[in-house]
Structure formats: structure tokens, C-alpha cells
Structure 1
Amino acid sequence: MRLGESWKLRAACLLSFAVATGGTVALAEMANAAPNTAAKPASATVPAVPGATESASSPLIAPSAGPTETTVTLAQLGQVNGLRLRGTEGSVDVNFGVRLDRGVTSAVLRLRYGYSPALLPQMSQLKVYLNEELVATLPYDKDNAGKNLMREIPLDPRLLSGFNRLRLVFLGHYTMECEDPMHSALWTDISPATEIVIGSQPLALDNDLAILPAPFFDRHDNRPLQVPFVFGALPSQAITHAAGVVATWLGALGDYRNARFPVAIGTLPARHAIVFATNDTRVAGLDLVPVDAPTLSMISHPGDPSVKLLVVQGRDAKDLETAALALVSGRAALSGASAKITSMQPLPRRPAYDAPRWIRTDRPVKIGELVNDPAELQVQGYSPWPIRVRLNLPADLLTWQNTGIPLDLRYRYTPPVKPDESSMAIEVNDQFVRAYRLKASGSSTDKSHMVVELLNDGTFADQQALLIPAFQVAARNFLSFQFAMAPHKENMCSQPVGSSARAAIDADSTVDFSTLPHYAQMPNLGFFANSGFPFTKYSDLAETTVVMSKAPDKAELETLFAMLGQMGKSTGVYANRFELADASQTDRMKDRDVLMIGGRDVGNLLAKWGKSLPLLIDQSRRVMSSVPQPVQRERGLGIAQAAELDGPVRLDAQTDGPLAALIGFESPLAPRRSVIALSATGPEVLQRVVDAVEDDVQRGNIHGDLAIMSAGRTEAFRLGDTYYVGDVSLWTRARFHLSQHPVLVALAALLAAFVIAIKCFGWLQRRAARRLEQ
């Protein structure tokens, strides 16, 4: 059956059900089932449940009680600076989603906006579209011009589906006569506080593994991810490891969303949760049948059928790890309410620097490989939004004395009818790199460079080779291309020539980081906060040992899972090869990078290693010390931040306030291995470190080898010894380290010149003696 026929049959069945029951849920599901002809990312599709019957043509059944209202702002949807509409015809799209397990009952757009006092009310308006359907037209009147306004616009729930597009179209005019379509008086600003309020009620999904990762992770939900982990008893190291693997998987799925994993022991939360159980450690109130193999099951919460529980189960902890690995690596092959894993062959160890979310550094990379949809590389209009491409890099790339990152840029655009100021500007992390003028049709000021016409679509192709300054790139980067094209009119009262300006970056454009070697000064907590380095050097965490207390409490477990989720978010893939150890198992920390999550046992081990640590924290005592050394400003730090690197030679204080810290130092068990410790005055205070890593502002303040989180702020210091990790040639290493000591280099040059002069003088003396003898 063709897709169109299948949808029509499904819509007819749902319409019949809606008429018979008078309910709105089936009509809302019709909107959800309707194919959307607009371009959508693949991740926006709602998975169907295999084997559904005609009476339940989707995984949705009758809703249960518990209506809720969800509010999301434009800032939460990524438009942190709001929306600015310019010109006679300006438009912008905002995408938002509705969870698979919620049935929409009401929806309202609370639009907060302001507009130019110069607009003519009889000719200007703001049109609001939802999924290409016009839902409101807002007039512009003189009395409210220049004010901050709020309008509530009802949205028809039947128009909402899993993936939705809200479009705002500004039609503005400032004169009845001839006008400039890009005049500065033509503006409307939409506040980032604009809200979309959705009322919904829960829908009971089928118990089917095929809908995974929903409802625990729903791609349509852009809010921070929260998935409770439930254990029947305090988990052992093996069970904790299995749960940690799942945490890295969910963190990778969440991408830009931060992920938290509240821990429940012996109780069931009243929300979707993942249960880890063995035959000996089952959860009270949950009737689980003993299993004889690793098993994955989707079941309903005993107290609410709309709440789903994913049960990861096994005979013992080993079975549990197998089931967890099957979930994160093979869930696409699972369906039905339960799956028994008869065999499981894990992937081999991953090579270094192969994280899917990091750009390749062994070859040039096409720009098209860095976006999910080629449409992201195209824009339309005279002053379009910039094209932004995310560049995540390994943190240890050495940019010292690098001439730049080669960018072979190919782009297309609608050429101006005559030479003007139309241009394309390139930025990295909002820092200007280069701008190029867009050449007019049939002209080129560069005789060695030719603009090529493409087919018959009116666009021209151009190509530029440039270097991105290496000092402008970090672990997280955005490469931006801003087109600005000027409209042209034959005379003041004519329409612009070529009213449909378009531009695009070719997917075949390349950026090349392969010239940068891996070599970096450590410890650097900024590397850890931004990308999980050095642990994420291997995306499966193959050379990482996590150290915790022998009996960690809920707060320590939640901190562990949150950190593992952050690493999955950075790499984009689950990790299953990290090890767990307690503070007494130091043999498992040799020749490995160590992540320590504070507890009394871990604090005792830190105290044992404490002679070279920048900070030791106890409930009533703080010991802060530094190794006297010249202060070297770290890459990317300004003068104000560099001042924070100074600390006392030693400070011993008695105090009892809450305090948390990130501490980095070289492992005392192996050279060039890193230890990063999350330490706090109490387990509950550890969450401050997680909060700081998740917060964009606080994360920017994390650097050096000590970061202290106190009173909602973060301060960083460089107090201890440094070391270097990576692999560069001996000649490069010698030059790099000598460049840090210019006086020493000058003295060495003088000494070398003196030695050469002595040698030359001796040689000349001997030669003169031989000539005299002759």
C-alpha cells in the first residue's frame, strides 16, 4: 500500500472514532498522523509500533487522568536573542515538538513583541502560521507602536503533531508612495520570552520495545532530560556499571539537552523510569518474574498505565550488563513487550579521537558531513539568518605557530544585478574571520577568478580558499556564514529586481584540521568541562577508571550518572569500557585516567595523595596550597581571568560552609595520566559541580587545575604542577618548550655563538700557523 493511501485509511478510522465519541484525542491524532510536506529532519518522525491492530492503529490508547500544562519559551527553543523581522517581507520559523506520550487538549501562543512607530496601520500586519495553516493576523495600530505588547493567540490542537513549525511573517510598509524595501523603519522584534503553552493529558502507550528510546527520551521534547534509575537495593559495582552505560547512551541521544538521572532505591517514581533488577534484587511493589537470561521488558507502572517502566533484568549482575549493552547497541532490532538476549557480541575497542560528534582530524571534512539536513546550508532573503555549522574538536589539538585551518569554501548565491556592497562574512565563535564581496552578474574584478553560472536557476557559484586563525578555535565551535544582499530597483517606484534572493554553502566545501597535532598542557579542567577530555579521548572510555566509595549514596550515584551522561553528550555514542573501582583498588587505576567522585573513602585517598593537591576539602577544614611558579596565561583567558590563577602558597582554614570543587592533577600512579576529582563537603553538595558543568556561564569559568563552586559562582585557579599529554615529534616538542623560555633561548644562542667563535678562532690560528711554516 502506498504511503498516501495508508495515511488516508488511518485518518478515516480516526475520524470515525472522533465522531462516535465526540472526543478531541482522535482528531489530535489525525493531525499527528498527517504527513507533513515541509522539510523535516529524520529525527522528527514519530515511530510506529509494529503489529498494531486496526483498533489501535498507533501506539496511542485511551488517555488516563492527569492533565498538565507545559510552557516553553523561544529562548528555550534556541532563540536566546529573540527574533528580528526586517524589510517589507520578513519571516522566520521556530520548531517545537509534542511528546509521543501526550495528547494535546489546548494550545496558546503568548506572543510578546514590539514594532516600529513608522508603520502604516492600514498596510502592515503580522501573520502567524502553524504547520503552514494561518492561525492569526495581528494588525499594527499607532497607539501601541513602540511598546512591548503581549497577545494570546489560541492554537487549534488538531493542527499539532509530533514535529511542529511556527512561522511568523511580517508585512510592513511605511509610506503609501515609493519605498525602500529594506528601510530601517521596517522592523518587528519578537521577545525571547514569547511562550508556547500546551495543555495535554497522558496517553497510555503500548508495551512495545519498538518505540524506544521513547518515552524515556523523546526527540520532540527539547527540555532537559530526566530519567530516574530504579534499583531494588544499593547497587554493586557491576550493576552501577550497567546503569552507567545506559546513562552515556541517553546523554548521547540528548545531544544539546542536559541529562540527569535521579536514583530511587526500593521505590517506584510516578514517572517513566528505567529499572535495573536481578533475580535477587527486585523492586518492591513490582511483580517481576525471575528470568533465566538477560532480558529487556517494557511494562506499565502498577499505579498508572500511562507511565512506562523499562526493566533491564538478569539472573545476576553479569546478565544485567549484557542486557544494558543490548539496549544501547541493538535496540533498533527489538520489538514486542519483552526480549530475551540469547547472545551478545560487543563492538571492539574504539580507536582514539573517533567520537561521532567530533570532527575528523585525520583528513579534510566536508561541511555536508557536519549538518543533519542539507537545507541547513541554504538561506533566503536579502538579510537572512546566518548559516551556522557546529565544529566540535578534540581538546588537545596544538595550535601553536600554526598558520591557520584551511577552509576550501564553495558557495552559491543570486548575483546582484550590478556591483554593490553585497557580501558574505565568515565568523568562528562570533569572531570575525573574513568577508567576501558578492560579485555582480557578468562581472569580476579578479581576472584570475571566474564566477560560474549554474544551470538556469539564476544562481552563481564561487569558491574561496582561506585560513581560519587557529587561536580562534576551541573544543566547542560554531562556524557562521552571514550573507547580506542589497535589493536593486530600476527606479524609486519599481519592485526590486530579483525579489527572491537565495544563497547556499555547498556541502562539498571542506575544512581541514589534519595539520594540528595532539599535544596539550595538563591539567586543564576546561577540557573536562567542555568535552570530557581526557576521558573522552576514547569515546568508549576504554582507558578510564571511575573511583567511588565502597557504598556510594544516592547523591554520589546521581553525580556519577550525570557525568557519564555529559561524556555521552560530548562524544555522541554510548560508552561501555570504563571501569569502576573503590578507593582501595589502586591497582585498577594504574596506567589509566581516573575520575574520582567524592565520598569519605575517596576523600581519604585524596588526603593520602594530598602533598601535591591544590585543595583538600573536609566538612570543617580546607587546605589550599600551590607550587610557586611563573603564572602563564592559559589559551582563551583574558587579563581579568588570568588574575584568578594566583593562589596562596598554603592556606589552612577551619570553616563549615558548603563547598564543592573540581580538582585536576597528574596521577601519582603513572606519568602523563590525569586524575580529576569531584570533591565536596557533603554528598548533596556534589550536585554543584554538575550544575556548573551544565551552565554555559559557569562552564566558561572552569579552567586551570582547581575550580571552586560556591554561592552560585565558579572561580578557577592554576596552583599545581603541569605536565603534557599527546604525541608530537621531538623537534616540535623541543621548539615548543623552548618558546616558553625566551631568555633561556637567548642565553643558549649567545653560548652557541661563543662556542662557534672559539672554534673558528682556533681553526684560523691553526691555519695561520700552517701558512707560516710553509
Structure 2
Amino acid sequence: MKVWMYVVLWMFPLLGYANTQQVELDKLIAAPTLTLKCTGDEQGLDIPLAHRWNVKKVTLNLHYVSSINLITSQSQLVVKLNGMPIAQTKLDALSPDVLVQLNLPVQYLSAGYNKLSFAVAQHSESKGCEKGCSPDMWTTIDLKRSVLAIDYENKAVPVALSSVGTLLFDPKVFPQAEVHLVTDTQDGELLNPLSIVASGVAHHFDYRQVSFTVSRQLKPGVDNILVGKHAFVQGLLGESKLALTDHEQGGYVSMLPLPQAGGGQDAGHALVVVTGKQVDDVKLAAETFASMSTFPGTPSLSAYEFKLPKLREYSGRELIEPGKEYTLKALNFPTATFQGGNASGKDINFRLPPDFMIRPNLSAKLALHFAYGAGMRETSAMNIVVNGKIVKGIHLGNTDGASFQNYVIEIPTRLFQPGSNRISFATELHPPLKECDLMLTGNMFLTVFDDTTFSFPDMPHFVELPNLELFMLSGFPFTRWADGYESKVVLTQTDDNTLSAAMNLIGLMTQKSGFPLYAIQLDKALANPWKGDFIMLGSPDSISAALGGKSLPFTKGKSAVPYALVRDWASDPVLISSVQSSQLGEGQGYLMQFESPYESGRTGMVFAARDSKNLLSLSEALLKSEVQAQTEGELTMLDLASQEDKAIVKSFKPETTYTTGKSGKKSFWQSYLYTHPYIYYGLVILLTIGFAITLFVVLRRYRKKRVAGRPV
């Protein structure tokens, strides 16, 4: 009976609405649950609402479990929307497991991010009195089983370029976005402008998953971007009785209504045209389109010149420059106050270059500016947590309160890692209560100010590859330069599906680096020798042929296929290699990294599937965070067919590695000494001993000369 109740509550919001998005709440926050503790607590999450949605109804199926020791008549849960209480329910000790359906008033919602919060008043009695934070005072919101359903209609898209930034490519669209690219797929010169447009769109969507499809024809029901030379564009638009206004030399970007196949127009979607008379003009229009953060209110614009400032290496999203001092405000951490005995932690998120070789004997410097309130118990403290590890506790022992400037904490660099890092502040603020005292929390606070500074020491750029995890973290090594300089994507098959898969990969790398890939190259062949990094897409056989017969798994000829045996606690899985002749099946494919056969220290990566249809499906699977989290090592196998609900991902660590340094360069001696540290230390010791002996000999001879020259 309970199962049917869940099914009915799940399906009810979907009845009678054409446009409904539903999402489990754990997809909106990086946590499976929210636990509310003590006599009073409040936590929440943000609900994104796209600007193009005209919201009609929002339904929340909320699941929570509360302690059976709560006093029912005095305990309650309040649901708030943007600070406004909209619903409340008793926390019944006799019915602790509750599923309730709530209608969220749409008048309190607006386009953007809306705060959905849960506040509790919880009371429990023991020995005739109540403790402020007794362990049996809790309520847990099950975010996985709590579902939000939004019923909406698409607003009409104004025929103005300003709609691009506000309505079309809005990161608040969920669960994912879809964009169709239209181009002359037979014209190889348009591949680079097309990739720039796709990269620009992905950049506008920020972290929101976006998938691309490519063809020569318009696609109904989604936003379309038409990229091509003027003659092709005019011919395609003429089929729908549309036309561009005359424009001079240079690039041209225009917004048009999206025509429907049976006649008429789709007011809820748009057609963006990126064109020019020559391919250089099309590229100019694409670069302009990809770069714009604000768009004019006119239907079109003409572009005549595009200048990109010189980029330094390692300048992508949230990437900090070693040796430079940053304020917390610059790291997107505004002044934060922790209030009460159950305050939520606050985080600083940043990234280090993915090819950093972090030396463990150095320290990062955190110079804190903070203050805390009077009247707290001497056991109060603030903990500093780095990547989940508590590294420092600051005693808040002055009962009169205190304020500190430049409270310096040296954090060992061994606690950090290449790629994403997090420094968290967590508080333990305790009131000086005796048993049965009333808990007052107004004086229990700690404030960390945003002029606190953080700096990380410089490190050498040196990393062992292959490592697909670094690719999923930041697009490395193809985003070593944020714009994709010295990187190439090669299509061994030139059909629409392969081209769509390439656009998905480019969009993925753009969102990882946080910068449009203006300089990445798309081609149907790899220049020999190619001095940079490259990605090759296609079937295993077509990729093997393009690489001069390189042995790859699952080709028609004999090839080595790895298998992992059970490992023990002290080592990685033991790999065995089976030489066989076998083929990939439906829904199967793989990512594989190796050292470029054309340039030492550079990387080649292949993305292979049985055919182009499967390649496109697998590229869409790579956009999912759960697949990215399992992608690592030298080889990652993907299987979409074995399970309907999720992809099976298996990754294999490399048996042999290669090294690369800054700018993709390396020297033999640097590589050898870094990978054989004991030899390095031995050489340092020998040089030190040699210097000491030399100095001793020189001083001894100098002393003999001085003694020999003295008169007797």
C-alpha cells in the first residue's frame, strides 16, 4: 500500500501538463540528506528557475524522518520559500516517517535561484528538563526521495539578440539543455567556426549539462544555431521563407524566429544565425558570438574585428596562480558569520594546475581575520578542514570575545592535490549552560572576514600520464592553455553523429576550463607530425588506420584487451592482457590516453565506439557527473546496454607511464630524476659532500700558503 502511495504522489504532478520538469532534491545540492538538530535549526537549498519558463505550478513531495523522542505537541517543521513560511507540520513521535505533498505558491517564485529552506523547532524532555542539543533531537530530510515537480510553459522568445543571454542559454534550465547546430557538413572549412560556437554556448551554460546535435537541417522543438557561409545560409532560410538583411563585409550574427515544418513559427524557441561571406568572416562572427557576455537589443549585429588578449598557461576557471596572494573575496567567499550551536560550514573552492608536482615539505599560508562573540564556553573552537581532513583547530577560549588580524596558519602542501581543492571552516560554538538552563544563541557567533588572505607556493609542472581523471577535472592536457591552443580534435568519420559527439566533447572541456576554446582545431586528418595534443574520434578500426596501424582494443585484427584481477590491500589491481580479435557491441565504447607518437611529452586520446550512433550516445553519457567521477587511468570502458538506468564504467590504470612538464615539454634528466627520487637525493648528497671536500682542500691550501709566508 505504501509503495502505491509513493507512485501516486510521484505521478500526480505530471498529469495534464505538457511541460513538466521533475528533479530529486539531491540533484540540487551536493548532499543526500539534510539533518536538522538541536531545539532550532534551519537549512536549505536553491531551486533554479529559467527565465524562459512561465511557471504555472510547483509541487514538492517531501520525505522526512524525525526522532521518536520529540514532544509532538511542541515540535514542528516549517517549510519556507525565499524566507516566507508556506507550510508547517507537526513532528509526530508516533509517525516519524512522513511523505507529504506541498504546493509551493508561485507568487513567491521568480526567475533565478529561489531559496527553499526547512526550519525546525524540536523539544525533548529528560529528567524534567530539556537540553539544547540533545542527541535525540533531530529531523532528517531525505533529498533522494523528495521530488520537486515544476509545471510551466515556454515564454515567447523576443526576436532580439538580448534574448541569447537571458532566455536561450540560461544555466538555470534543468535537468539539462539541448542545442542543435546547423551547418554545411560537407564543408571542412566550417569545422573550426562550428566548434567555437559550440564552445561559446557551453560557456554560457556554465556548469549546466548541454548536449549538441549537428545536421544540415533545422530541428524542431529546440533552439537552433545556423553556422555557415552566406550562400548556404540564404538557401536554407529561403526554404522557410526567411531571409537575412543585407550586410557588409565581416561577420554577421542575427536572431530569427524558428520556423516549423508545417508552416508557421515556434514562438518558444529561436534560430540564431552566425554567418559571413567567406570562412574568415564566419569565424569572426563565431568568435564574437562566443565572447559576448551582454547582447544588444537589436535583431542583428555586424562584426569587423576580434582581438583576444594574450593568455598565460593555466588560467582557467577557479585556477589560482602560485605565489600570488588572494583575498577570500577574490575567491568568491564573502564575509561569513557562523551563528548558533549548529551553524553550517562554509567552503573556499579553488583549483591548482593539474600538472602540479606538489612538494610535501612546503606550506600554504592562510592569514585569517576573524572575530567571535562573548559569553561562550571555553570549549568553543573553529576547525580548518582541507579536502575533508581537519588540519587545525583554533581555540575560542576568551569568554569576553576577541578579534584577530593576520592569524597565520601554515597548511602543509601535502594535503592539497592537483585540480580541485576545498578549504572549509567548521565551528563548535558552545553556550555556558547548566542543566535545564534556557539556551540563548544570540551571542554565539564567529565571523570570518573576506579580507583574509590565502597563498600557495610555486611548484614545478611535472605529471605522470596517462590519467583520464585530469581530463575530467579540467580538460587537461588539452586546456593547458585556456583557449585550447596546440590541441586538435580529429574526426576519422565525418557524419552528423560523429560531429555531434565532437561538439559534446568540446562543450565538456569548455565547462571544465571555464573559457571558450577559440584556438582548438577541428580537422578530418592529423598533420604528420603533429607537435601538439590531439583527440581522435571514430571506430577502433578507423582510428587505428589514421594512427598508422596503432594497436587499439577491439579492432578487427589482433589487439590487446586488458582485464583487471582481484587486488590485495597493498597494491592496485593486477592487469592481464589478452591478445584477441573482437569487436565492440551495441552501447559500448572507450576513452584511452597514450603518449603522442609524434612528439615526446604530448598526449593522444581516442574516443571510440562501434559506430557513430553509439559514439553520440556515449558522448552524452560522458556529460553525466557519475560517469566522469569513475573515469580515470589509461583506459575507461563504457557500456550503456547492460543496464537501462545507468552506464557501466570500468577504468584501468596504466602499466607504463610517460611524463610531461610545463608547456607540454620535458627533459630526459628532469623526468628521470623526478621518477627516481632516491637517485636525486643521492646526487644531492654527493654534490654536498663534494662541495665540502673541495672547500676543505681549498681552505687547507690557503692556510698552508699563509703559514709558509710568515716570518719565523
Note if 1:354 corresponds to 2:315: yes
- Equivalent position of 2:252 in the other structure: 295
Task: State the shift of 1:139 in Å.
Answer: 1.3
Is the Cα contact below 8 Å between 2:24 and 2:143 reproduced in 1? yes
- Equivalent position of 1:429 in the other structure: 387
Note if 1:374 corresponds to 2:334: yes
Q: 1:136 to 1:80 in 2, by over 3 A?
A: same
Aligned-pair identity in percent equals 20
- Equivalent position of 1:540 in the other structure: 483
- Structure 2 counterpart of 1:325, from 268, 287, 304: 287
- Structure 1 counterpart of 2:502, from 560, 565, 571: 560
Rounded to whole Å, the distance in 1 between the matches of 2:664 and 2:619 is 34
- Equivalent position of 1:678 in the other structure: 607
| 1:299-325 Cα distance to aligned partner (Å, 9 max, x none) | 222232122222223334332222111
Q: 1:590 to 1:186 in 2, by over 3 A?
A: same
| 1:616-650 Cα distance to aligned partner (Å, 9 max, x none) | 44267643489xxxx9xxxxxx97695246343x6
Rounded to whole Å, the distance in 2 between the matches of 1:410 and 1:494 is 33
**AA in 2 matched with 1:85:** L
- Other structure's SS at 2:585 match: coil
- Equivalent position of 2:351 in the other structure: 392
- Equivalent position of 1:54 in the other structure: none
Note if 1:112 corresponds to 2:66: no
- Equivalent position of 2:125 in the other structure: 175
Q: Name whichever of 341-350 and 650-659 sits farther off.
A: 650-659
The TM-score, its normalising length taken from structure 2, stands at 0.83
Rounded to whole Å, the distance in 2 between the matches of 1:699 and 1:77 is 18
- Equivalent position of 1:12 in the other structure: none
Is the Cα contact below 8 Å between 1:548 and 1:599 reproduced in 2? no
Is the Cα contact below 8 Å between 2:41 and 2:342 reproduced in 1? no
- Other structure's SS at 2:27 match: coil
Q: 1:749 to 1:319 in 2, by over 3 A?
A: closer
Rounded to whole Å, the distance in 2 between the matches of 1:172 and 1:528 is 47
**AA in 1 matched with 2:537:** I
Q: 1:382 to 1:735 in 2, by over 3 A?
A: same
- Other structure's SS at 2:94 match: helix
- Other structure's SS at 2:167 match: coil
Note if 1:465 corresponds to 2:409: yes
Rounded to whole Å, the distance in 1 between the matches of 2:684 and 2:516 is 50
Is the Cα contact below 8 Å between 2:176 and 2:209 reproduced in 1? yes
Note if 1:474 corresponds to 2:426: no
Is the Cα contact below 8 Å between 1:520 and 1:726 reproduced in 2? no
- Equivalent position of 2:73 in the other structure: 122
Task: State the shift of 1:481 in Å.
Answer: 1.3
- Other structure's SS at 2:119 match: strand
The TM-score, its normalising length taken from structure 1, stands at 0.77
Is the Cα contact below 8 Å between 1:617 and 1:681 reproduced in 2? no
- Equivalent position of 2:710 in the other structure: none
| 1:61-113 Cα distance to aligned partner (Å, 9 max, x none) | xxxx9842221221111143221111111111321122222212112221111
Rounded to whole Å, the distance in 2 between the matches of 1:249 and 1:477 is 26
Task: State the shift of 1:171 in Å.
Answer: 0.7
Is the Cα contact below 8 Å between 2:28 and 2:46 reproduced in 1? yes
- Equivalent position of 2:107 in the other structure: 158
- Equivalent position of 2:362 in the other structure: 403
Q: 1:621 to 1:510 in 2, by over 3 A?
A: farther
Task: State the shift of 1:415 in Å.
Answer: 4.5
Task: State the shift of 1:188 in Å.
Answer: 0.8
Q: 1:312 to 1:600 in 2, by over 3 A?
A: farther
- Equivalent position of 2:660 in the other structure: 724
Q: Name whichever of 155-164 and 698-707 sits farther off.
A: 698-707
Aligned residues: 657
**AA in 2 matched with 1:286:** S
- Structure 2 counterpart of 1:212, from 154, 164, 186: 164
- Other structure's SS at 1:596 match: strand
Note if 1:92 corresponds to 2:43: yes
Note if 1:255 corresponds to 2:209: no
- Other structure's SS at 1:213 match: helix
Note if 1:592 corresponds to 2:552: no
Task: State the shift of 1:484 in Å.
Answer: 1.7
Rounded to whole Å, the distance in 1 between the matches of 2:663 and 2:172 is 42
Is the Cα contact below 8 Å between 1:404 and 1:467 reproduced in 2? yes
Rounded to whole Å, the distance in 2 between the matches of 1:319 and 1:326 is 11
- Structure 2 counterpart of 1:651, from 568, 579, 586: 579
Q: 1:196 to 1:729 in 2, by over 3 A?
A: closer
| 1:439-486 Cα distance to aligned partner (Å, 9 max, x none) | 23348xxxxxxx43xxxxxxx667231214425423122221111211
Unaligned runs of at least 5 residues, structure 1: 1-64, 444-450, 453-459, 632-637, 765-774
Rounded to whole Å, the distance in 1 between the matches of 2:407 and 2:657 is 47
Q: 1:728 to 1:539 in 2, by over 3 A?
A: closer
- Equivalent position of 2:555 in the other structure: 618
Task: State the shift of 1:138 in Å.
Answer: 0.6
Q: 1:292 to 1:559 in 2, by over 3 A?
A: same
- Aligned counterparts, 1:490-529, within 5 A: 491-529=434-472
- Other structure's SS at 1:75 match: helix
Rounded to whole Å, the distance in 1 between the matches of 2:89 and 2:677 is 66
Is the Cα contact below 8 Å between 1:593 and 1:675 reproduced in 2? yes
Q: 1:729 to 1:643 in 2, by over 3 A?
A: closer
- Aligned counterparts, 1:690-705, within 5 A: 690=619, 693-705=622-634
| 1:174-205 Cα distance to aligned partner (Å, 9 max, x none) | 13953211111211110113122221122213
Q: 1:430 to 1:741 in 2, by over 3 A?
A: closer
Is the Cα contact below 8 Å between 1:253 and 1:572 reproduced in 2? no
**AA in 2 matched with 1:227:** V
Task: State the shift of 1:115 in Å.
Answer: 0.8
Q: 1:216 to 1:494 in 2, by over 3 A?
A: same
Rounded to whole Å, the distance in 1 between the matches of 2:572 and 2:17 is 53
